[in-house]
A and B are shown apart, each in its own frame.
Chain A
């Protein structure tokens, strides 16, 4: 099959690069309408990552999330039709999504090899402020080339995306702020900038006459857990939901140089002490679904691991558990004895924790939540009013319809 490599510079090209700290936090790409198909899996966001040296900032004195690494630079991503502006897919809280996603479906070896070259990932110790550093970035000399795959449902669709039927694509990337990317001593505020930014990939020649294409997508929501009886309800408005999962981070860790706001911590009762969820139940319209029972854990005094049912259902919400061939999740990082003070357990990367469930293990057709709310009830030993941010991600099917009047997204 004939194809062409492409290299697209941003439509809002900046001669000085892109940096949140300088107000250049939006990167837009336009892939024009043409009778060809975009090979979504080949699309890479490329560029050069530079750390601006603040006074006294040296190598090893600041860090980024080890697994998500440079993908944490993307705060949200939106893909829409260039001609009509119709939104096709938007993922908010993108680093939080990837933090769950990458730790669940990529192994330590993937993170150390393939993903370390493309985006600087690792499965090493978490983002310590200084001392032991997962990423020994020297701001004076160490710039880093990156060429990252951008996991979104549309781009990872195996069917080439017909650019003429879509009316071209408009890809908009919002960059994260420096505080949410870096972890560092608060006297040495590192800042990043991106230069030589471009989008590369492959376009297959020719366009099929198709009327629709199906792809999976992610929709994100935000909530708070701050009591021993946390009940979270969302109206998803989605018809074919395959799974849903929540990950957590203490609210005070978000946008804070002192903490890693991307990591998937357990629910916490304080900055350093994990809560112990006694019971988790998933609800559809107020009834327990799909599990007809609560995930109960009577924590024993010497228990060190998260409840295995909780971990299993969480992983399965992201990818069908029986199909998980590679994962970074292990007893070492699903461990309540992790050193939360440093954001790591010093052994095998950061904590991998979340609460989730897969709705459809057999047909993969998904479950209708159009008019029925989805809920999670978490009973834990939180007694203080300590805020944990809860990010909900739903994994669902979308259909993109192509017609004379443009495109239509059915979700």
Chain B
């Protein structure tokens, strides 16, 4: 099992055993593996060319792209370009309408499908929720500097001056110190504190969305194919070997409230939708010299590309419903995630509000979050988490320690998850969200705290097929919040894309 990278950082300091393992897996064979991601095939005579494709069908609800046949190898970092436009005259340009901070433009996509002919190779359902979770694997710096431009996300954070004010909002000069957290999109707060000679009155500082993240500005964003289809993180598609057309389908959301957020207190009448004229596919094709391509094609007429495919399982529950008063008692919940007969690598879970709940005017994250299921009112509240796999509990004891749950999430993802303590647990121990810095008018203490309580676990016995009982998710919540919660569990099942004489087919490993 790989270690999260901060531990690798430790390890590289203290362990002599670290070698360049990434290079080992890319060791040149007689015929190099051209489809492996991040191998140093660029050392060879690699040619990269780009095509910008319009959709075969492109509307405000649906887009379909057909990729060029025979055009080398599809680079997994190829992009889909998307843009929103307003319908009708502007009425709300003075108000705040912006993309959810945890998803950016990805909030517009409901589902994405990758097909080869009629064979579905990969499907991403509830893509916005998936994207908000996987986006937490990006570093704070990348989110702030790169993805805020690329896909419109804003959920980087920063350490800010805590205004340690008295009840009247007055702070003495010299006591300001960076000890609170707020979000960071690289812009200045909209108001500033005018420091007086001896003291100053604190006013709220408001972080507004960057210009390009406001819908009224019709900014174009891109999403990588490897974000839309996680399988493409593990290999590239050899278009030059296929006889069938590879097709990408995007299904867009039409519910305004699920696509955008509005500034706290604003009431919006403007309607935005996907601009079909701006929906494009930016395809990068990799080719090598003819001899290398031919050798590879001849040697791989029958090949299998194995990957771990996240399959979405949804359930709904109100954890406080089970005959106990909200805030007290234990609420057991067990649901079957399936997976029977399959090889399962890991399970990731999120707990969002119901899809019909309008969250666009509640938090700048919209509903692309995972709520802490406890009320946060008492230290006795906790979530006991376990998985029953092949009639055995994965953990010998239910995991109720919130930090341990986070560590299991990190082990499952094999990378650090960019969540602060106060985002993970209500009343978390780390730096608190500053009450003086609002986010589009929302107070982060109330509207961001405990909203990234994702759970995850790596199956410790991935070589065992799941038996007929399937995988059971067990949650016991002590002091549950009285909310209808949609539980999304992504069960990573092993699959293969088999390539057989010019045609793809899917094999459930």
A residues near B (Cβ < 8 Å) are: 1-7, 39, 41-42, 44, 46-49, 101, 105-106, 108-110, 112-125, 128, 131-137, 141-149, 151-153, 156-159, 196, 200, 202, 214-218, 318-319, 323, 325-326, 344, 346-348, 364, 395, 397
Q: Bound complex: CA of A153 vs CA of B4, how far in Å? A: 17
Q: Is B204 an interface residue (CB 8 A)?
A: no
Chain B residue nearest to A397 in the complex (CB): B16
Which residue from A48, A49, A157, A202 sits with its C-beta under 8 Å from B15?
Answer: A157
With A143-B379, A157-B17: A44-B404 Cβ-Cβ less than 8 Å: yes
User: Would you call the interface of chain B mostly helix, strand, loop, or mixed?
Assistant: loop
With A105-B10, A117-B430, A142-B429: A153-B420 Cβ-Cβ less than 8 Å: no
Q: Bound complex: CA of A370 vs CA of B225, how far in Å? A: 57
Q: B432 and A158: CB pair below 8 A?
A: no
Which residue from A112, A144, A159 sits with its C-beta under 8 Å from B429?
Answer: A144
Q: A120 and B460: CB pair below 8 A?
A: no
Sample of 14 more A-B contacts, CB < 8 Å, known A2-B462, A113-B420, A149-B10? A3-B1, A5-B395, A5-B396, A39-B1, A120-B429, A122-B431, A124-B177, A132-B177, A148-B403, A200-B404, A200-B407, A214-B17, A216-B14, A319-B13
Report A-chain residues with C-beta under 8 Å of the C-beta of B11. Answer: 41, 156-158
Interchain nearest-CB distance for B224 vs A (Å): 22
Q: Bound complex: CA of A148 vs CA of B10, how far in Å? A: 13
Report A-chain residues with C-beta under 8 Å of the C-beta of B13. Answer: 101, 105, 156, 216, 318-319
Report B-chain residues with C-beta under 8 Å of the C-beta of A196. Answer: 401
Q: Is B397 an interface residue (CB 8 A)?
A: yes
Which residue from B16, B178, B418 sits with its C-beta under 8 Å from A364?
Answer: B16
Contact with A along B424-440 (1 / 0, CB 8 A): 11011111100000000
Report A-chain residues with C-beta under 8 Å of the C-beta of B407. Answer: 44, 118, 147, 200
Would you give 25 A-B contacts (Cβ < 8 Å), ordered by A?
A2-B463, A3-B1, A4-B461, A5-B396, A41-B11, A106-B9, A108-B159, A109-B139, A114-B6, A114-B416, A117-B402, A118-B406, A122-B431, A125-B177, A125-B179, A131-B164, A142-B379, A149-B10, A156-B15, A158-B18, A215-B16, A216-B16, A323-B12, A325-B9, A346-B176
Q: Bound complex: CA of A115 vs CA of B403, how far in Å? A: 10
Interchain nearest-CB distance for A241 vs B (Å): 13
Interchain nearest-CB distance for A173 vs B (Å): 17
Q: B429 and A116: CB pair below 8 A?
A: yes
Report B-chain residues with C-beta under 8 Å of the C-beta of A119. Answer: 403
Q: B395 and A7: CB pair below 8 A?
A: yes
Q: Is B357 an interface residue (CB 8 A)?
A: no
Report A-chain residues with C-beta under 8 Å of the C-beta of B419. Answer: 113, 117
Q: Bound complex: CA of A336 vs CA of B378, how far in Å? A: 43
Report B-chain residues with C-beta under 8 Å of the C-beta of A200. Answer: 404, 407
Q: Bound complex: CA of A117 vs CA of B404, how far in Å? A: 9
Q: Bound complex: CA of A118 vs CA of B416, how far in Å? A: 11
Task: List which B1-49 residues lie within 8 A (CB) of chain A.
Answer: 1, 3-4, 6-7, 9-18
Interchain nearest-CB distance for A312 vs B (Å): 16
- Which 5 residue pairs spanning A and B have beta carbons closest together? A116-B430, A147-B403, A125-B177, A124-B179, A158-B17
Contact with A along B233-261 (1 / 0, CB 8 A): 00000000000000000000000000000
Q: B416 and A156: CB pair below 8 A?
A: no
Q: Bound complex: CA of A46 vs CA of B12, how far in Å? A: 24
Report B-chain residues with C-beta under 8 Å of the C-beta of A132. Answer: 162, 164, 175-177, 179
Report A-chain residues with C-beta under 8 Å of the C-beta of B432. Answer: 136
Which residue from A47, A114, A153 sits with its C-beta under 8 Å from B14?
Answer: A153
Q: A120 and B421: CB pair below 8 A?
A: yes
Q: Bound complex: CA of A15 vs CA of B217, how far in Å? A: 61
Task: List which B375-405 residues lie within 8 A (CB) of chain A.
Answer: 378-379, 394-397, 401-404
Q: Is B417 an interface residue (CB 8 A)?
A: yes
Q: A116 and B420: CB pair below 8 A?
A: yes
Report A-chain residues with C-beta under 8 Å of the C-beta of B272. Answer: none
Chain B residue nearest to A364 in the complex (CB): B16
Task: List which B116-148 residues lie within 8 A (CB) of chain A.
Answer: 139-141
Report B-chain residues with C-beta under 8 Å of the C-beta of A202. Answer: 1, 411, 460
Q: Bound complex: CA of A319 vs CA of B432, how far in Å? A: 31
Q: Is B181 an interface residue (CB 8 A)?
A: yes
Report A-chain residues with C-beta under 8 Å of the C-beta of B177. Answer: 124-125, 128, 132, 344, 346-347
With A5-B395, A156-B15: A46-B10 Cβ-Cβ less than 8 Å: no
Q: B178 and A145: CB pair below 8 A?
A: no
Chain A residue nearest to B19 in the complex (CB): A158
Report B-chain residues with C-beta under 8 Å of the C-beta of A157. Answer: 11, 15-17
Interchain nearest-CB distance for A82 vs B (Å): 20
Q: Point out which of A132, A152, A323, A325 has the most chain B C-beta atoms below 10 A from its C-beta.
A: A132
Chain A residue nearest to B393 in the complex (CB): A5
Q: B397 and A156: CB pair below 8 A?
A: no
Q: A117 and B1: CB pair below 8 A?
A: no
Q: B181 and A112: CB pair below 8 A?
A: yes
Task: List which B58-100 residues lie within 8 A (CB) of chain A.
Answer: none
Which residue from B16, B180, B417, B463 sits with its C-beta under 8 Å from A114?
Answer: B417
Q: Bound complex: CA of A218 vs CA of B378, how far in Å? A: 41
Report B-chain residues with C-beta under 8 Å of the C-beta of A48. Answer: 401
Q: Bound complex: CA of A5 vs CA of B458, how far in Å? A: 10
Report B-chain residues with C-beta under 8 Å of the C-beta of A159. Answer: 17
Q: Is B157 an interface residue (CB 8 A)?
A: yes
Q: Bound complex: CA of A143 vs CA of B406, how far in Å? A: 17
Q: B463 and A110: CB pair below 8 A?
A: no
Interchain nearest-CB distance for A64 vs B (Å): 10
Interchain nearest-CB distance for A108 vs B (Å): 7
Report A-chain residues with C-beta under 8 Å of the C-beta of B397. Answer: 7
Interchain nearest-CB distance for B455 vs A (Å): 13
Q: Bound complex: CA of A256 vs CA of B13, how far in Å? A: 31
With A106-B6, A136-B432, A346-B178: A116-B421 Cβ-Cβ less than 8 Å: yes
Q: Bound complex: CA of A49 vs CA of B461, how far in Å? A: 32
Q: A116 and B431: CB pair below 8 A?
A: yes
Report B-chain residues with C-beta under 8 Å of the C-beta of A136. Answer: 432
Q: Is B262 an interface residue (CB 8 A)?
A: no
Contact with A along B286-303 (1 / 0, CB 8 A): 000000000000000000
With A105-B9, A114-B417, A124-B159: A216-B428 Cβ-Cβ less than 8 Å: no
With A1-B1, A113-B420, A114-B416: A145-B404 Cβ-Cβ less than 8 Å: yes
Q: Point out which of A39, A114, A158, A326 has the most chain B C-beta atoms below 10 A from its C-beta.
A: A114
Q: Is B410 an interface residue (CB 8 A)?
A: yes
Task: List which B462-484 residues lie within 8 A (CB) of chain A.
Answer: 462-464
Q: A151 and B10: CB pair below 8 A?
A: yes
Q: Point out which of B7, B175, B401, B430 has the most chain A C-beta atoms below 10 A from its C-beta.
A: B430
Chain A residue nearest to B3 in the complex (CB): A41
Q: A110 and B416: CB pair below 8 A?
A: yes
Interchain nearest-CB distance for A140 vs B (Å): 9
Interchain nearest-CB distance for B138 vs A (Å): 11
Chain B residue nearest to A398 in the complex (CB): B16
Q: Bound complex: CA of A6 vs CA of B4, how far in Å? A: 19
Report A-chain residues with C-beta under 8 Å of the C-beta of B424. Answer: 117
Chain A residue nearest to B403 in the complex (CB): A147
Q: Bound complex: CA of A215 vs CA of B15, how far in Å? A: 6
Chain B residue nearest to A143 in the complex (CB): B379
Q: Bound complex: CA of A100 vs CA of B77, how far in Å? A: 39
Q: B401 and A348: CB pair below 8 A?
A: no
Report B-chain residues with C-beta under 8 Å of the C-beta of A7. Answer: 395-397
Chain A residue nearest to B177 in the complex (CB): A125
With A113-B416, A145-B402: A347-B430 Cβ-Cβ less than 8 Å: no
With A158-B17, A319-B13: A145-B401 Cβ-Cβ less than 8 Å: yes
Interchain nearest-CB distance for B378 vs A (Å): 7
Q: Bound complex: CA of A117 vs CA of B181, how far in Å? A: 14
